[in-house]
Structure 1
Amino acid sequence: MSSGKSFSEIISGEQPVLVDFYATWCGPCQMMQPILQETAAKVGPKAKIIKIDVDKNPLAASKFQVRGVPTLILFQHGKPVWRQSGVVPAHQLVQVIDRHAVETV
């Protein structure tokens, strides 16, 4: 999130934003890193993927009722349109993003 935009500004755009709520101490969260990289490579500019450390951003985690990590939430126009906790395979993330990215065109 080096763009200087706030979290709410980032998730409020036209482009779907996949947010990975994670913690540095979480083993499954570390397993998600290469999956997210693969997903980003496959979806390209159709969606933005960002990571939010729940220990450093407890307000964001609380606002979206993140109870466990990793929790992935896809936002569109600032609203959550899909969410799942646990490790999610890249092909499933690509399908979810594709389904929502098509709706904005």
Structure 2
Amino acid sequence: MAIVSIKSKEEFQEVVLQAAQPVLVDFWAPWCGPCKMVAPELEALDEEMAGKALIVKVNVDDNQKLAGDYNVMGIPTLLVFKQGAEVNRLVGFRPRQDLQAALESV
């Protein structure tokens, strides 16, 4: 399954908050160095977790209100959702193992 880019609050509601499986949401921006470092980790994780979890990206420049709703103060901020609720938060670059552990814990 491919990583989904969220374009609106409505799409976030549908894709993330109503998902049956755990969701890892990457709040990022194209100009952010650590965000660029985490991108290949997320792509590899997406392949490993296919069918078990969903990986979603939210560009904070295009979705400032959504980032504010989740108190995203720095990027990358990675949130793990289960059944519509935030259950874990990682800020800054993290290796794939940390991201996978955060998803598998739910």
Task: Identify the TM-score tier after normalising by the shorter chain.
Answer: 0.7 to 0.9
Query: In the superposition, relative to structure 1, how do residues 68 and 3 fare at CA in structure 2: closer, same or farther (>3 Å)?
Result: closer
Asked if residue 20 in structure 1 is aligned to residue 20 in structure 2, the reply is: no
Q: Distance in 1 between matches of 2:21 and 2:49?
A: 12
Query: In the superposition, relative to structure 1, how do residues 2 and 73 fare at CA in structure 2: closer, same or farther (>3 Å)?
Result: closer
Q: Distance in 2 between matches of 1:25 and 1:82?
A: 25
Residue of 10, 29, 33 corresponding to 2:15: 10
Asked if residue 69 in structure 1 is aligned to residue 49 in structure 2, the reply is: no
TM-score by length of 2: 0.86
Q: CA-to-partner distance for each residue in 1:51-71, whole Å, 9 max, x for gaps?
A: 100000011100000000000
Aligned residues: 100
Q: Distance in 1 between matches of 2:27 and 2:42?
A: 12
Query: In the superposition, relative to structure 1, how do residues 2 and 19 fare at CA in structure 2: closer, same or farther (>3 Å)?
Result: closer
The alignment yields a C-alpha RMSD, in angstroms, of 1.8
Q: CA-to-partner distance for each residue in 1:49-96, whole Å, 9 max, x for gaps?
A: 011000000111000000000000011111100001100110111112
Query: Where does the alignment leave 5 or more consecutive residues of structure 2 unmatched?
Result: none
Report percent identity of matched pairs.
39
Q: 4+ runs of 1 displaced by more than 2 Å?
A: 1-5
Query: In proportion to residue count, which structure has more helix?
Result: 1
Query: Where does the alignment leave 5 or more consecutive residues of structure 1 unmatched?
Result: 101-105
